[in-house]
A and B are shown apart, each in its own frame.
Chain A
Amino acid sequence: MLKAYDYAEPGKRAELRDAGLFRQEKQIAQQFVLEHPSERQSISCPICGSIKTKYIFERWDVNYRLCDDCKSIFVAVDDSILQEYLGLKSMKNLRVSSKYQQQASERRTDIWMDFVSWAEYRVFRYLGRNRGLRVIDFGNRYVKSVELFRSSKMTAEYELRDSILPIETASVNEADLVLYLNQLQHEADPIESLLQIGKCLSEDGLLILNTRLGSGFDILTLKGGTEDIFPYEHIMLPSAKGLKLILDKAGYELLEITTPGTRDLDVVMKNKERIEEANFFIKYLIDTADCTTIADFQQFLQKSGLSSFAQVIAKKKD
């Protein structure tokens, strides 16, 4: 099985978000969540169906639960509340604002360009071609990212679907490539969502998906202390095992799953006061390790499938 990691010299990574804008996003989400508490009582795992789930952490009075069987983390939230959250006008206005888009563009363009390049490579690897593709991009909320995918050498037709962005694109009925990037995190029923997505994928088409993983180092180490995990933006944090299960149940053959996340250690170091007292080793590591050791540790997480960011390529089962 393919294992992969990215390597950058320690200390080179810029913040992905503007702190002020991110604070605003969280404030909007928090206000909504406090006004719309999670009402669903069902606590079975939405991925494997196990009823062996337990409380793992709480954020804004919303309980995150950990499945004992597939080790995924989820929030049981009423669907109507979730839909209302996803359609929240104040959040949408913030995210489509030129300031938000400009900040994202400045901080992430190089990462997106690298990702497009990676996608061109991996698509060629599995399809034997990376030109003339029909692409559907689900939920992309960044103008620059849309531009980059749209203008990629591999893209012949491009449709932006289910996005908050006011961008008109052509309609693609059947896609050679579906992009489902950072969408799984706010899916209450990820299996059903991917089943639906599969309907617009051609027989040999590819699904490229990325998502935060509940089995990742920073999330499990900090539990509720992870600043960038909050309801109802993040209600589904599958483990690597859970992610494989979702794909299998939704009718996909997994071609590769890697965890090339680069920020687990950064996140933990930034929130080190939130590491539980009993977690002696991690506290010791974070307090004493030099930047090379930290970088090596991140590489180990990436290679071992233990980073909290996963990248998946899959196709529909024959």
Chain B
Amino acid sequence: MEKIKVVIIGMGRMGKTRYDAMKRHGGYDIIGLCDTDPARGIYYKEPFYSDWKLCIDQCHADAVIVCTYNVVIPDIVCYALKKGCAVFSEKPPGRNLADTLKMQKACEGSICKILKFGFNHRYHNSVIEAKALVDSGILGDVVCARGVYGKAGTPAFPSEWRNDRAISGGGIMLDQGIHMLDLMYYFMGKFTDIQSSVNQLVWKDMDTEDSVFSILHTEDGKVASLHSSAIQWRHKFSLDLICSEGFISLNGLLTSTMSYGEERLTYYKKDLECKTGGLGQPIEHTMCFDTDESWDYEMKEFYDAVVRGKPVLQGTIGDAVNLMEMLEGIYHKNSIMQAE
């Protein structure tokens, strides 16, 4: 198997997740790691840097994996692209649309032109199956959607870097809700008309929002409601897709903590004549999944883009720009965000 030389910038939880996925893949030769906390280096045998620029300059990698705080993502991505590297970066694609556009420009001006963002939810088995179900045509078109993505929170939640707006750019919506927004965009297309309520309902002293309710419309009249919450007080993932001929529900998500519940997809066909069951009880089909291969699928796609010249399919810079435009639309209504 042809190997690509990579460095990982940022060796926190996501850096380690990507490191493990690349090791499992077998096509990645990890030649350098970087983190501002040198203590993290003791877990790895690869050369360890504390300066990302030095790491990229000295390692001469084919690809750079960016797993840092949001605030530094654009600088690292743009620098790596300029150096001719392919780049895989964690979401969000910067703190705001301006950051994303900056990376888009850098990508367009680069030799390699491979830039992929990590929206791993698209690679969860339930989402893969739901996408196939929608595209198979048996349930008609998706006409509207309801999504809830919620976190339990922790005692230290308000003081986490994710809620330091200077570093993160936004709160729960940008950190976690962006996955739900991405999935809705994946199934329904771009939302152009956005209404939202962005609030601090409980964590009042935080720098960012703890709750977002948003109603989103596409140009062709599809509607979605999204609730991104840091005050769910447990982990919750739920996405309903209402189709013209049936219904799909995604519930639970397999993660490393196993705290979002069993990952399940349930669907049924519209049955107005009650042929399959009683009134209001059409026969449901449910699929459950006990493995999360999303990280592996994602790293495989990136590898195939770099080595085999295949196009990046998910998490493109185009997707990133669209998502950040929609996020700006959501935050635009936000009194917290507008205050500054």
Contacts and interface: CB of A to CB of B under 8 A. Distances in A.
Interface of A: 1-9, 12, 110, 114, 117-118, 120-121, 123-125, 130, 153, 260, 303
Contact of B287 (A4, A9, A120, A124): A4
B289 interface: yes
Interface string B125-139: 100010011011110
Nearest to B245: A117
What 7 pairs between A and B have smallest CB-CB spacing? A124-B136, A125-B132, A3-B288, A7-B284, A121-B136, A4-B287, A9-B281
Interface in B279-298: 281, 283-291
B278 to A, nearest CB: 6
Contact of B136 (A2, A6, A125, A260): A125
B277 interface: yes
A130 B284 contact: no
Main secondary structure of the interface of B (DSSP, over half): mixed
A4 B288 contact: yes
B291 A121 contact: no
A153 B281 CA distance: 26
A6 B290 contact: no
Interface of B: 125, 129, 132-133, 135-138, 266, 269, 275-278, 281, 283-291
Given A8-B281, A9-B278, A125 B129 contact: yes
Contacts of A114: 269, 276, 283
A6 B135 contact: no
Contacts of B290: 1, 3
A260 B311 CA distance: 37
Given A7-B283, A9-B278, A117-B269, 19 more contacts: A1-B290, A2-B129, A3-B288, A4-B285, A4-B286, A4-B288, A5-B288, A6-B284, A7-B285, A7-B286, A8-B277, A8-B281, A8-B283, A114-B269, A114-B283, A117-B138, A118-B285, A124-B132, A153-B137
Given A117-B269, A121-B132, A6 B137 contact: no
16 contacts: A1-B289, A2-B288, A2-B289, A5-B286, A5-B288, A6-B283, A114-B276, A117-B138, A118-B285, A121-B133, A121-B138, A124-B135, A125-B129, A125-B136, A130-B136, A303-B288
A123 B132 CA distance: 9
A4 B285 CA distance: 7
